[in-house]
Amino acid sequence: MIHPPSLQKGDSIGIVAPAGRIDYAIIQQASQRIEQMGYKIKLGSFLNRHHYNFSSTDENRKNDLQQMMDDKEVKAILCTRGGYGAIRYVDELDFIAIKENPKWLIGFSDITVLHAAFQKHGLCSIHGPMCKSFLNYTETGADIDILFSFLRGESPQYLINPYPTNRLGTAKGILTGGNLSLLHALRGTAYDFDPRGKILFIEDISEYLYHLDKMMLNLKLGGVLEKLSGLVVGQFTDMKDNETPFGETIEDIIFKSVKEYNYPVAFNFPAGHVETNYPLIFGEEMELQVKENQVSLISV
């Protein structure tokens, strides 16, 4: 996998809106914070051209992203938000220029589709905070600080608390994954991932418990879960139940789908649709250690 070069103060970071619409004031505030940190900002041309639920039309969103991918001055691309929309044009993106001049893509949620495309083309990318996270930077900026440490070339080293449903063990593998609903949507496409030698990270928001069960069973019945090296479960936020309860918790559903395998499983990793969203480098080889008193996820 191609690991993009580190950023230096004064380098340019491009901001694009590849999916859902966002208040332009949030983009402006994030831009100001990044400039205060010593970096230059390049804004996409269509950040404030709302088209129904999208930030702009499919063509405009694709062109903005493509321009940043091709621009030699841009060293990293920060997505404004997720929502929905990247899957509508992902197969039209051209990766020739960015493979010659690699740069970081940063985002999560719907940006899972773009992470999948980057990995298909052999490029590492960062599953991490987007523009809205910069609004609280001065108060709870741990995820932003970690993000910029990654951009400056530091390697991931996470130590987190144990969780009752964890499965102990040690594994090495390439970290991949993202939003479970998007991974499910990409199943059977050219952007589906090969699970062999992978540590899978998953998170989601506002899903019904029965649909979580359905998605996990899809991964199981499709032979994905049995081939993994490890599983990291992020935050499943604002999950919903039917009027008649499903009868199983998030942890029940996920652990049941992998109980017959013997790789380590770490629950409650602090990443996903939460205020402090720790960044992860997809495409990076990592070691996952799940012990009784601690979980570590460290770059190797």
Residues 30, 49: one domain?
yes
Other C-beta atoms closer than 10 Å to the C-beta of 22 total 22
Q: How many domains does the chain have?
A: 2
Domain-located, residue 1:
no
The residue from 133, 151, 169 where one domain ends is 151
Domain-located, residue 7:
no
83: left (phi over 0), alpha (psi -120 to 50) or beta: left
Is the predicted pLDDT of residue 209 greater than 80, yes or no? yes
Residues 128, 176: one domain?
no
Chain segment 29-84, per-residue pLDDT in tens: 999 999 999 999 999 999 988 999 999 999 999 999 999 999 999 999 999 999 99
Is the predicted pLDDT of residue 28 greater than 60, yes or no? yes
Domain-located, residue 49:
yes
Other C-beta atoms closer than 10 Å to the C-beta of 41 total 18
If you average pLDDT over every residue of the chain, what do you get? 96
Contact between residue 176 and residue 209 where contact means Cβ atoms under 8 Å apart:
no
The residue from 124, 151, 178 where one domain ends is 151
Which residues have a Cβ under 8 Å from the Cβ of 244 and sit 6 or more positions away? none
Quote the domain boundaries for residue 230. Answer: 157-299
Contact between residue 214 and residue 207 where contact means Cβ atoms under 8 Å apart:
no
Binned at pLDDT 50, 70 and 90, residue 134 comes out as confident
Report the catalytic residues: 109, 203, 273
Q: Cα–Cα distances in Å, from 80 out to 115, 119, 277? A: 15, 20, 15
Query: Tell me, what's the pLDDT at 137?
Result: 67
Contact between residue 81 and residue 72 where contact means Cβ atoms under 8 Å apart:
no
Q: What is the mean pLDDT of residues 230-239?
A: 98
Other C-beta atoms closer than 10 Å to the C-beta of 159 total 10
The residue from 85, 117, 151 where one domain ends is 151
Residues 178, 248: one domain?
yes
Return the SS3 of 269.
coil
Largest CA distance in the chain: 56
Give dist(CA 179, CA 205) in Å, integer: 8
Q: Which residue type occupies 39?
A: Y
Q: What is the mean pLDDT of residues 203-232?
A: 98
Q: Where are the beta strands (DSSP E) in the chain?
A: 12-16, 40-43, 74-79, 104-107, 125-127, 157-160, 169-179, 198-205, 230-237, 265-266, 280-282, 285-290, 295-299
